[in-house]
Amino acid sequence: MILNLDPNFKPASGTEIAFKAFTFSGGEPHIKIEAFDTTQKVTVTHRLNSFNDFGLFITAIDALRNMGAKTIEAVIPYFPAARQDRLMIPGEPLTVKVYARILNSLNLDKVYVFDAHSEVTPALVENCEVIPNHEFIADVLKQVPSVSKLVSPDGGALKKIYKVSTFLGGMDVVECSKNRDVKTGRLSGFKVFADDLSGADCLIVDDICDGGATFIGLAEALKAKGAGKLYLAVSHGIFSKGVENLTQIFDTTFTTNSFRDISENGVVQLPIKKLIINS
C-alpha cells in the first residue's frame, strides 16, 4: 500500500491509499486518511521541501498508527537539512540531527533516502537505506555517450564518484577542489587536478545543485584545462537561482524529480520511480 503525500510525486508502485490533506488557518497541516487494509505494509512518500511538508509527513504517520497500521516505511528522496551535518561556527544548530531525532521517534521500519549528501544522514536516521545515484548517472550517460570523464567538484564528492566509476566499469575521474568561506559561503580557488583534458567531454556529478556557484566556477576551471563539452548531473535540483546561468555554460543539465518538478530548456529531468522499491 502506498501513501503518496505529493500527488505529483509517485516514486513507488502499488495500491494507493486515498486521503485529503489541508492546512488549518493557523498554518497547521492536517490529513484525513480513508480506510484501507492495515494488515499490509504501508510506504509513505513525500518531497520534504519545507518544515510544513515535514509536518504533513509526521502527522500522516501518526494517523496511520491510529488506524492500526503495523509496518510503515518511508521514501524521503531529498533528506532535509542534509547539508547542515556539522557545526562550522558557534551559534548554529546541527539541523540534520534535529530532523533525524523527530523521524526516529516515529519508529519507522525503513527509511529510503536517495543519494544522501554525506554519511551523517544514514548514521543518524534509524533503519535508513541509501539508494545510490549509480543508475541515475548510467541513464544520463546513455543520453550523452560522448562523455569520457566524470568530474568530482570537491573532496566531499570523491568517495561517491569513485563508486559510480566502479559501477560503470572504471570510467576516468577528474578530481577538483574549491575553497569556501564558512562565514560568508563565498567560493574561490577552483582547481582541476589534470594537466590537459585535450577536448574531452566531461560530466560533473554531485548530489545537490542549489544556487549553482560551485558548478559555474568549476566549469571555468575545466575549460581552462582544455575540456570539451560540459554536462552537469545533480541528483537533487533545487536551483534556487534558476537555471539560466547553468544553461549558458553546460550543454545539458540533468537532474531527478526528488526535490521538485522542473521544465526548462537545457534541463533534462529523469524520474526516480525506477530507483525506488515497489510496495
Q: Strands across the sheet with 128-131, in order? A: 2-4, 42-45, 72-75, 110-114, 128-131
**Beta strand 2-4 pairing with 267-270:** unpaired
Please, are residues 59 and 89 in contact by the beta-carbon 8 Å criterion?
no
**What are the C-alpha distances in Å from 150 to residues 203, 206, 247, 249, 260?**
5, 10, 19, 17, 25
Q: How far apart are CA 238 and CA 161, in angstroms?
A: 20
Please, are residues 218 and 174 in contact by the beta-carbon 8 Å criterion?
no
Residue 156 DSSP SS3: helix
β-bridge mates for residue 32, sequence order: 20
Please, are residues 202 and 171 in contact by the beta-carbon 8 Å criterion?
no
Known catalytic residues are 178
All residues at 6 or more sequence positions from 265 whose CB lies less than 8 Å from its CB, including other chains: 247
C-alpha cell read off for 33: 486518511
DSSP 277: P
All residues at 6 or more sequence positions from 190 whose CB lies less than 8 Å from its CB, including other chains: 176, 177, 178, 217, 218, 220, 221
**What are the C-alpha distances in Å from 116 to residues 8, 26, 95, 147, 149?**
22, 33, 15, 25, 23
Amino acid making up residue 62: D
